[in-house]
Amino acid sequence: MTESGKVATVTLEGKSASLPVHSGTLGPDVLDIRKITADLGVFTFDPGYGETASCTSKITFIDGDKGILLHRGYPIAQLAEQATFTEVAYLLLNGELPTTTEHDAFVDTLKSHTLLHEQIRNFFNGFRRDAHPMAILCGTVGALSAFYSDANDISNAASRNLSAMRLIAKLPTIAAWAYKYTQGEAFVYPRNDLTYAENFLSMMFAHPSEPYKINPILARAMDRILILHADHEQNASTSTVRMAGSTGANPFACVAAGIAALWGPAHGGANEAVLKMLAKIGSKDNIPEFIAQVKDKNSGVRLMGFGHRVYKNFDPRAKIMQATCHEVLGELGIKDDPLLDLAVELEKIAINDEYFVKRSLYPNVDFYSGIILKAMGIPTSMFTVLFALARTTGWISQWKEMIEEPGQRISRPRQLYTGSPERDFTPFAKRG
Ligand code: CMC
């Protein structure tokens, strides 16, 4: 952060405050309002934090109007096309792309942490078989804190790194086992001869009774899906991780909080909601009626997988996801899937409809990721779990950055109170 040299003067009823303006390397300048309460006696009001920079960060940059997404300065399209997920994870965590030696060491360390404590295996039995896998993921990741008490030593850099590696390494195992458990199938242990994405597919789809053959096109698609979801600046779940972390909570608890925030349909739950929406629409003939419902403000129906808080042009991740979608469908020889045909038709109609054009509502990453995952045989209930698995890398990188920031303080927003003014307590007898 540098001083731009600019100062904004805010005047209120004869008092004035001079607010410094800071510049980042990219993006709009930010007005530093930290002195406004002391100088003017007011808070600022920004529900949903749409106009508020809550921190400084060197990890991810988004320009929503231009459809730009950079991780540590590298465009997402270049990373998705040329890097692997583990390279991107290293980049997010450490700030630079790894050399071959650094990458090998990073992957070796991850592989040494892919197994779960056998006691965690027992933990799964506590869940109902029909539990949503996000519930299992959220509970089990939080429970990791009970196994690694060294994670509480957040002032120790080695402890922070160890927790980060444990989380990135163990998430695929927990995620795949959450699925296996709900299916009543045997848990498949991690295979350290496979890549990160291959190993996840193996733990999801292999059976101990027979060899499992990895399809390289599907493994590459899975790797790309993980890259595209790895980080996304200060979104709801990342802000939740940072907020929980600002209290000094251990990183497993913070990531469990992030998983909970990701679960909702306005955020990570959208890819699951897209598939449910397509199933509800049922056939192309019903699209006009559905679109009419979406436009009717009283219906409460939204076109899931469309729109974004930040991207008001296009979601750069969606473009790559769309291409990957065609690759996967081609590889699997899927031509006439009614749900997929419906999705393509819905997209065509919506991007040409004035309602969506006027509001800059374009397909987001989740519109296509749901379709690809379905084609790959991933059950709908696992879609958000996959998002969480990928985003854990971003969450833990953002958590580390926050803890390592000098002068880091607890997050504590204020409010505009609209409740009753102070009044005296009345006992039951006088309440009538
Ligand atoms: N369908 C229909 N109308 C919409 C939609 C939609 N998906 N999204 C926004 N609008 C309308 C909204 O009704 C409002 O209209 P008006 O100006 O007439 O009142 C206008 O567009 C602006 O909407 P908003 O609610 O102020 O926008 P927001 O920035 O608060 O919401 C969003 C962003 C992602 C929550 C929203 O677009 C949405 O609910 N989309 C569907 C869910 C979804 O796909 N979420 C995944 C986001 S990408 C993955 C991730 O990063 O988590």
Give the residue, by CA position, lying nearest to ligand 1 atom 39. 266
Which amino acid appears at position 307 of this protein?
A: G
Residues 6+ away with beta carbon under 8 Å from 8: 18, 19, 21, 31
pLDDT of 269 over the 90 cut: no
- Distances in whole angstroms, Cα of residue 195 to Cα of each of 84, 199, 392: 9, 6, 17
What 3-state class would DSSP assign to 38? helix
Six-digit token string for 424: 């005296």
Among candidates 260, 412, 419, 276, which has minimal Cα distance to 343? Answer: 276
Q: According to the model, what pLDDT value does residue 326 have?
A: 82
CATH superfamily of 74-405: Citrate Synthase, domain 1 (1.10.580.10)
Q: Relative to the CA of 237, which ligand 1 atom is closest?
A: 52
Q: Which residues have CB under 8 Å from 361's CB, separation 6+?
A: 303, 306, 307, 350, 355
For the chain, how long is the longest CA-to-CA vector?
Answer: 79
Expressed in angstroms and rounded, the spacing between residue 48 Cα and the centre of ligand 1 is 13
The pTM score is 0.91
- Can you tell me which atom of ligand 1 is nearest the CA of 364? 48
CA distance 244 to 264: 18
Residue owning the nearest CA to atom 10 of ligand 1: 307
Report the pLDDT averaged over residues 238-257.
Answer: 98
pLDDT of residue 340: 77
Task: Determine the Cα–Cα distance for residues 223 and 114; give it in Å rounded to an integer.
Answer: 17
CB 207 within 8 A of CB 364: no
pLDDT tens per residue, range 84-107: 999 999 999 999 999 999 999 999
To test ligand 1's pocket by mutation, which of 302, 351, 353 has the most ligand atoms within 8 angstroms of CB? Answer: 302
Ligand 1 pocket test, candidate residues 241, 277, 309, 368, most atoms within 8 A of CB = 309
Query: Structure tokens of 266?
Result: 């306005």
Q: Rounded CA gap, 97 and 122, in Å?
A: 38
Pairwise pLDDT comparison (341 vs 174), residue with the higher score: 174
pLDDT bucket at 367, cuts 50 / 70 / 90: confident
pLDDT at 347: 87
Cβ-based neighbours of 415, under 8 Å, separated by 6 or more: 43
Reduced to 3 states (helix: H, G, I; strand: E, B; else coil), residue 95 is: coil
pLDDT at 63: 95
* Ligand 1 pocket at CB < 6 A: 232, 235, 266-268, 270, 294, 302-309, 359, 361, 364-366
Q: What's the one-letter identity of residue 266?
A: A
CA dist., res. 394 & res. 71, Å (int): 10
> Per-residue confidence at 3, pLDDT binned at 50, 70, 90?
confident
Nearby residues of 79 by Cβ (< 8 Å), 6 or more positions away: 71, 87, 88, 91, 227
**Is a pLDDT exceeding 80 seen at residue 1?**
no
Question: What is the Å distance from ligand 1's center to 307 Cα?
Answer: 5
Contact status, residue 368 vs residue 259, Cβ threshold 8 Å: no
CA distance 399 to 18: 32
Q: In what order do the strands lie in the sheet with 30-31?
A: 2-12, 15-23, 30-31
For tokens 């196994």, the residue is 147
- Of 120-134, 248-262, 326-340, which gets the smallest average pLDDT? 326-340
- How far apart are the CA of 308 and the centre of ligand 1, in A? 6
Rounded to whole angstroms, the Cα distance separating 422 from 405 reads 40
Q: Whose alpha carbon is nearest atom 14 of ligand 1?
A: 359
Alpha carbon nearest to ligand 1 atom 25, residue: 309
Kindly report, residue by residue over 10-66, the tens digit of the pLDDT. 999 999 999 999 999 999 999 999 999 999 999 999 999 999 999 999 999 999 999
pLDDT of residue 18: 95
Dihedral class, residue 376 (left if φ above 0, else alpha if ψ from -120 to 50, else beta): alpha
**Ligand 1 closest atom vs CA 367:** 44
* Consecutive H or E run containing 88: helix 85-94
Q: Delimit the domains of the chain by residue range.
A: 2-53, 74-405
The protein residue whose alpha carbon is closest to atom 51 in ligand 1 is 267
How much distance in Å is there from the Cα of 306 to the middle of ligand 1? Answer: 7
Q: What is the pLDDT of residues 106-163, one digit of tens each?
A: 999 999 999 999 999 999 999 999 999 999 999 999 999 999 999 999 999 999 999 9
CA of 309 to the centre of ligand 1 (A): 7
Query: Which of 296, 364, 365 for a ligand 1 pocket mutation test, highest count of atoms within 8 Å of Cβ?
Result: 364
CB atoms within 10 A of CB 65: 11
CB within 8 Å of 260: residues ≥ 6 apart:
138, 240
Residue with structure tokens 């991007």?
351
Q: Structurally, what CATH architecture does the domain formed by 2-53 represent?
A: Single Sheet (2.20)
Question: Is pLDDT above 80 for 337?
Answer: no
- DSSP-derived secondary structure letter, 407: T
Give the catalytic positions in this structure.
Answer: 308, 366
Q: Scanning the structure block, which residue is given the tokens 């965590």?
A: 93
Rounded distance from Cα 149 to ligand 1 centre (Å):
40
Distance 261 CA to ligand 1 centre (A): 17
Torsion angle defined by CA atoms of residues 196, 241, 156 and 105, in that order, rounded to the nearest 10 degrees: 10
Residue of the CA atom closest to atom 30 of ligand 1: 309
